[in-house]
């Protein structure tokens, strides 16, 4: 199976940041570590950075599987990294129903790259951090 590179992981970590305790993300989801959305049945008071790294690896693997399942065209490492960051943040379901996926699978790489910047809302509001993240993902994708 294909995996995100260190550069891609660093992109995700730079936007997620590390939190040893539970917080609500901009979409109102209880989150811990490096952007780990707490699932039903999970309970945390605090975690170590090592635990957060392990959770990140598992969460990223789910995003990687989504990319491999949904994208049918060849991808460079940079493109794969950007898409994994996108799917990690929004979920593979968002990618599945996106114009980004449709354009990409038609081989329209440049047009697909322009779709990243449309995904900047949480709770109905444009979030500055998401604007920065989507711009960084787009830059990585086209590099």
- The Cα–Cα gap between 10 and 20 comes to 18
- Longest CA pairwise span in the chain (Å): 45
Six-digit token string for 118: 């449309």
Q: Could you tell me the CATH number of the domain that includes residue 68?
A: 1.10.530.40
For 38, the domain range is: 6-142
Stated pTM of the model: 0.95
Q: Does 1 fall in a domain?
A: no
Q: Residue 27 above 90 pLDDT?
A: no
Query: Active-site residue numbers?
Result: 16
pLDDT tens digits along 53-65: 999 999 999 999 9
- What integer pLDDT is reported at residue 26 of this predicted model? 84
- What integer pLDDT is reported at residue 123 of this predicted model? 85
Q: Share the mean pLDDT of the chain.
A: 96
Q: Does 60 fall in a domain?
A: yes
pLDDT tens digits along 75-125: 999 999 999 999 999 999 999 999 999 999 999 999 999 999 999 998 899
Would you say how long the chain is, in residues? 143
- Total domains in the chain come to 1
Q: Does 41 fall in a domain?
A: yes
Q: Does 85 fall in a domain?
A: yes
Q: Does 91 fall in a domain?
A: yes
- The Cα–Cα gap between 58 and 74 comes to 24
- The Cα–Cα gap between 103 and 109 comes to 7
Q: Does 118 fall in a domain?
A: yes
Of 93, 38, 97, the residue nearest 63 (C-alpha): 93
- Inter-residue contact 27 to 123 (CB < 8 Å): yes
Q: Does 72 fall in a domain?
A: yes
């Amino acid at each position: 199976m294909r995996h995100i590179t260190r550069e891609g992981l660093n992109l995700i970590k730079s936007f997620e940041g590390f939190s040893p305790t539970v917080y609500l993300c901009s979409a109102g989801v209880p989150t811990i570590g490096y952007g780990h959305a707490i699932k039903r049945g999970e309970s945390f008071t605090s975690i170590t950075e090592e635990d957060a790294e392990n959770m990140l690896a598992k969460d990223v693997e789910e995003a990687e599987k989504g990319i491999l399942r949904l994208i049918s065209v060849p991808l460079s490492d940079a493109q794969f990294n950007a898409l994994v960051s996108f799917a990690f943040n929004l979920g593979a379901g968002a990618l599945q129903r996106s114009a980004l996926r449709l354009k990409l699978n038609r081989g329209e790489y440049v047009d697909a790259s322009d779709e990243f910047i449309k995904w900047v809302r949480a709770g109905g509001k444009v979030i500055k951090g998401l604007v920065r993240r989507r711009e960084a993902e787009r830059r990585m994708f086209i590099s």
